[in-house]
Amino acid sequence: MTSLQDLHSAGTGPVVLSIDAMGGDRGPATVVAGIARSARVNPHLRFLLHGPEDELTRLVSKRKGLAERCEIRHAEGVVSMHDKPSQVMRQGKGTSMWSTLEAVRNGEATVAVSCGNTGALMALSMVRLRKLPGVNRPAIAVLWPSRNPHGFNVMLDVGADIRADAQDLLQYALMGVSYARNGLGLPSPRVGLLNVGTEEHKGRAELKEAFDLIHGQAKSANFEFVGFVEGGDIPGDICDVIVTDGFTGNVALKTGEGTAKLIGDLLREAFAFSPLSRLASVLAFTSLQRLKKRIDPRRVNGGVFLGLNGTVVKSHGAADATGVSAAVKLAFELAQSGFNERLAARVASTLEAQQDAPNTNNTNG
Amino acid sequence: MTSLQDLHSAGTGPVVLSIDAMGGDRGPATVVAGIARSARVNPHLRFLLHGPEDELTRLVSKRKGLAERCEIRHAEGVVSMHDKPSQVMRQGKGTSMWSTLEAVRNGEATVAVSCGNTGALMALSMVRLRKLPGVNRPAIAVLWPSRNPHGFNVMLDVGADIRADAQDLLQYALMGVSYARNGLGLPSPRVGLLNVGTEEHKGRAELKEAFDLIHGQAKSANFEFVGFVEGGDIPGDICDVIVTDGFTGNVALKTGEGTAKLIGDLLREAFAFSPLSRLASVLAFTSLQRLKKRIDPRRVNGGVFLGLNGTVVKSHGAADATGVSAAVKLAFELAQSGFNERLAARVASTLEAQQDAPNTNNTNG
């Protein structure tokens, strides 16, 4: 195996990702299958792979050409889906998850990818990578299939924290804008603030306050603020970035996924119903595959942790090789665009602007 | 036109519904078309129709056989979608919405149906019908297409109030159970409390407290409590009733609707893509119609206001005749089952049980 650190520090060409092989529902074989798939289509990818050395060596050696692009870092411990974040923070040293983050912390890799326990991964990321200056609560952002020409909207927070005050929501807006700019290539993203109505707002004082804060930053931070949006706008085309607290965002995300999955299953049933409908499904195969690809949650697999000194991509726990590969692709794109440095700069400059502004209360923590 | 009051007070046979002809996006012609459709298939239906007499008389006379089953109550004013609830509460007298609720208040009709402004309708309903004894916050419940054999789950609150404390969530559970029992025919409904995870619960103290309260009432109120559920379970089959606050519920409802609509549109595009896929759509027509019927939001049109002295069905503002007819069907079923009396009895008896229980804090308002 090659040492990858030299390649990485060269700054051009190869991108090194730090991959947690353990903790997903399907085990390390699926993770290795996923990175092998990505490696085949992208010659610039290199991996630091964390987990039990013997098992990983065996799995990697089965995939042609992978061993040369993959350095295995031995880690005995595994964070399970049932481990409590607080426990993992205290006793997580020696786990593959810890080791994965450590490689980003010490600059060996640009982005970390894990299929493991979300709560534990966020807790460990906060402790080991630490928050960016000016960020009070990091957030998890996802790409959501939408009616927009670029095919996706950014939504955050989908579950890093169940609470968010007005200042947090402003930071989510700024981080979401950075993500949309670097991840979706939108020069001036449109931001919407999720609420139960667009016109009038009863209660939830923090949303009204966040409305004013975000509105006040739109011009200087070069985004458009479309105001309050509703649940139906998350897959819509009136904005590119949807800002909400982690409780609401998490429920919305899982509701959308559940609804899409139900419709998909019912569609399959409908096509299996009669000989005629089975024939129809054959004729429509290509069109349906195109649709499936458009809305397949595995293709947009990967929540991104924003607001830390380093980028972490959280792949779905139940991700298969396609899902892992999609998360790796996302991690590669974010690494290559220098996303985290840009985001840090954006948050810092807005913080300054807020502090300089004569009419704004400085409520930064 | 016949006077319907005598028919109604007889208690058997005909069911009188109070219908707001105004305030929907498509105007009174659509409402009249909807009730005409319901009247054709259900001989037990009678209507009190509220709005401008001349216009309604003209519209009703165009529908064969409708005039005999329909009494028009003149009301000049219309509550628009942009009117503020607080305004309507003060100045709403003389509107068709007010008149519609008044017929339920004075016992002429069992259930009210309106396509109008949700906030205004809830505000007026609170003032005119008043809350049931023991209910602190009324809720809006919807039927949600699901994997359950009965095809739907009940979810509440989807937007009556953006806040709910633990005691409110308990009442939502009890009201949702009554609705599932009477509306879906489930003798012992399974209740889930919406959260961001099923195992462990970080923060949101009111959810933990509500967990204990609902758990404590399950046996005596004859339902099963499955504990915390996630957004993906709303269209799922692990529970029949999903309990949440009106902010989260409203976002989830609109996210689900928006997702279903996006997939439907993409599906149509997919089938229009090539001559082969167009042929496929013809062959699969019957199966796809069946699927469409299963998830068509118009077929489950109608949020039900629970916790008032009288039942109010809120039809979607953009409902077409099919949608209005679905809301009327729901109103009929609830009227016929004596739903509101049962719900009132359930809430009252649980209230007593809670007050009698030695170990429970009595926090009823």
Q: Starting at the earlier edge strand, list the strands of the sheet with A303-306.
A: A70-74, A45-51, A15-20, A111-114, A311-314, A303-306, A139-145, A152-156, A241-243, A190-194, A224-229
- Between B13 and B142, name the one with better pLDDT: B142
Reduced to 3 states (helix: H, G, I; strand: E, B; else coil), residue A266 is helix
Nearest CB neighbour to B204, from listed A203, A247, A295: A247
Q: Give residue A295's pLDDT.
A: 66
Contacts of residue B115, Cβ cutoff 8 Å, sequence gap at least 6: B20, B23, B24, B25, B26, B31, B314, B315, B316, B317, B319, B324, B327
pLDDT for B92-149, tens place per residue? 999 999 999 999 999 999 999 999 998 899 999 999 999 998 899 999 999 998 999 9
pLDDT exceeds cutoff 60 at B12: no
Q: Give residue B296's pLDDT.
A: 66
Q: Say whether residue B234 is in contact with chain A using an 8 A CB cutoff.
A: yes
Question: Nearest 5°: phi and psi at A30?
Answer: -70, -40
pLDDT exceeds cutoff 80 at A311: yes
Q: Give residue B253's pLDDT.
A: 92
Q: Give residue B285's pLDDT.
A: 74
Nearest CB neighbour to B251, from listed A251, A257, A258: A251
Average pLDDT, integer, range A356-360: 50
Q: Give residue A5's pLDDT.
A: 42
The CA distance from A272 to the nearest CA of chain B, in Å, is 9
Is A194–B251 a contact, with Cβ atoms under 8 angstroms apart?
Answer: yes
Q: Say whether residue B279 is in contact with chain A using an 8 A CB cutoff.
A: yes
Q: Say whether residue A260 is in contact with chain B using an 8 A CB cutoff.
A: yes
Q: Starting at the earlier edge strand, list the strands of the sheet with B224-229.
A: B70-74, B45-51, B15-20, B111-114, B311-314, B303-306, B139-145, B152-156, B241-243, B190-194, B224-229
Let me know if the fold of B1-132+307-318 is the same as that of B136-300.
yes
Query: Which CATH number is associated with domain B136-300?
Result: 3.40.718.10
Contacts of residue B127, Cβ cutoff 8 Å, sequence gap at least 6: B89
Lowest mean pLDDT among A114-123, A290-299, B229-238: A290-299
* Beta strands B15-20; B45-51: pairing state: parallel
To the nearest 10 degrees (0 to 180), the angle between helices A321-336 and A166-183 is 90
Q: Say whether residue A281 is in contact with chain B using an 8 A CB cutoff.
A: yes
Asked, as a colleague might, if the bond just before B157 is cis with ω within 30 of 0, I would say yes
Transcribe B74-124 into DSSP letters: E--B---TTS-HHHHHHH-TTBHHHHHHHHHHTTS-SEEEE-S-HHHHHHH
Q: Say whether residue B310 is in contact with chain A using an 8 A CB cutoff.
A: no
* Beta strands B303-306; B139-145: pairing state: antiparallel
Nearest CB neighbour to A259, from listed B256, B284, B291: B256
Per-residue pLDDT band for A1 (boundaries 50, 70, 90) equals: very low
- Between A289 and A192, name the one with better pLDDT: A192
CA distance A55 to A40: 22
Query: Which CATH number is associated with domain B1-132+307-318?
Result: 3.40.718.10
Of A28, A43, A31, which is closest to residue A301 (Cα–Cα)? Answer: A31
Q: Give residue B31's pLDDT.
A: 96
CA distance A263 to A269: 10
Q: Say whether residue A117 is in contact with chain B using an 8 A CB cutoff.
A: no
Chain B stretch 94-113, residues whose beta carbon is closer than 8 A to a beta carbon of chain A: none
**For chain B, percent of residues with pLDDT exceeding 90:** 60
Q: Say whether residue A288 is in contact with chain B using an 8 A CB cutoff.
A: yes
CA distance A210 to A208: 5
Q: What is the mean pLDDT of chain A?
A: 87
Contacts of B255 in chain A (CB under 8 A): 231-232, 234-235, 252, 255-256, 259
pLDDT exceeds cutoff 50 at A363: no
Nearest CB neighbour to A280, from listed B199, B260, B283: B283
CA distance A269 to A264: 9
Q: Say whether residue A11 is in contact with chain B using an 8 A CB cutoff.
A: no
pLDDT for B145-201, tens place per residue? 899 998 899 999 998 888 899 999 999 999 999 999 988 889 999 999 999 987 655
Per-residue pLDDT band for A12 (boundaries 50, 70, 90) equals: low
Nearest CB neighbour to A252, from listed B251, B263, B276: B251
Apex A249 CA angle, A243 and A253, nearest 5: 120
Q: Give residue B11's pLDDT.
A: 46
Which residue of A199, A243, A269, A287 to mutate against B (max B Cβ within 10 Å)? A287
Lowest mean pLDDT among A11-20, A288-297, B28-37, B184-193: A288-297
* Structure token pair of residue B297: 């939001």
Is B284–A286 a contact, with Cβ atoms under 8 angstroms apart?
Answer: no
Average pLDDT, integer, range B221-237: 94
The CA distance from A30 to the nearest CA of chain B, in Å, is 24
Q: Say whether residue A275 is in contact with chain B using an 8 A CB cutoff.
A: no
Q: Do B60 and B32 touch, CB atoms closer than 8 A? A: yes
Closest-CA residue in chain A for B86? Answer: A202
The CA distance from A91 to the nearest CA of chain B, in Å, is 19
**ipTM field:** 0.85
Average pLDDT, integer, range A104-119: 94
Query: B122-127: which pairs have CB atoms within 8 A and are 24 or more residues apart?
Result: B122/B85, B122/B160, B122/B305, B123/B85, B123/B86, B123/B88, B123/B89, B124/B85, B124/B88, B124/B89, B124/B92, B124/B97, B124/B98, B125/B101, B125/B305, B125/B308, B125/B310, B125/B312, B126/B308, B127/B89
Lowest mean pLDDT among A62-66, A126-130, A178-182, A298-302: A298-302
Contacts of residue A159, Cβ cutoff 8 Å, sequence gap at least 6: A118, A140, A246, A247, A249, A250, A253, A303, B196
H-only helix segments in A161-222: 166-183, 205-217
Contacts of B140 in chain A (CB under 8 A): none
pLDDT exceeds cutoff 90 at B317: no
Closest-CA residue in chain B for A296? Answer: B263
Closest-CA residue in chain A for B159? Answer: A196
Q: Give residue A356's pLDDT.
A: 60
Query: Which CATH number is associated with domain A136-302?
Result: 3.40.718.10
Q: Give residue A134's pLDDT.
A: 85
Is A258–B234 a contact, with Cβ atoms under 8 angstroms apart?
Answer: yes
Lowest mean pLDDT among A159-163, A208-212, B100-104, B324-328: A159-163
CA distance A236 to B208: 34
Q: Give residue B302's pLDDT.
A: 78
Please count the residues of chain B. Answer: 365
Q: Is A272 exposed, middle or buried (0-12, 13-18, 19+ CB in 10 A)?
A: exposed
Q: Give residue B261's pLDDT.
A: 87
Ranges of each domain in chain B: 1-132+307-318, 136-300
CA distance A331 to A311: 8
Average pLDDT, integer, range A36-62: 96
- Between B316 and A309, name the one with better pLDDT: A309
Chain A stretch 135-164, residues whose beta carbon is closer than 8 A to a beta carbon of chain B: 145-147, 159, 162-163
pLDDT for A177-227, tens place per residue? 999 998 888 999 999 999 998 765 565 888 999 999 999 999 989 999 999
Is B194–A251 a contact, with Cβ atoms under 8 angstroms apart?
Answer: yes
Nearest CB neighbour to A258, from listed B236, B261, B274: B236
Report the 10 Å Cβ neighbour count for A338: 13
Topology of the domain comprising A1-132+307-322+332-337 = Isopropylmalate Dehydrogenase (3.40.718)
Q: Give residue B124's pLDDT.
A: 95
Q: Give residue A298's pLDDT.
A: 61
Lowest mean pLDDT among A96-105, A191-200, A232-241: A191-200
- Secondary structure letter of residue B297 according to DSSP: G
The CA distance from A195 to the nearest CA of chain B, in Å, is 7
Average pLDDT, integer, range B232-238: 95
Which residue of A195, A251, A278, A282 to mutate against B (max B Cβ within 10 Å)? A251
Q: Do B207 and A247 touch, CB atoms closer than 8 A? A: no
Rounded to the nearest angstrom, the gap between the alpha carbon of residue B362 and the centroid of all alpha carbons in its chain is 30
CA distance B101 to B121: 9
Contacts of A288 in chain B (CB under 8 A): 270
Q: Give residue B298's pLDDT.
A: 62
Nearest CB neighbour to A270, from listed B234, B252, B291: B291
Q: Give residue B355's pLDDT.
A: 65
The residue assigned the tokens 């089953």 is B69
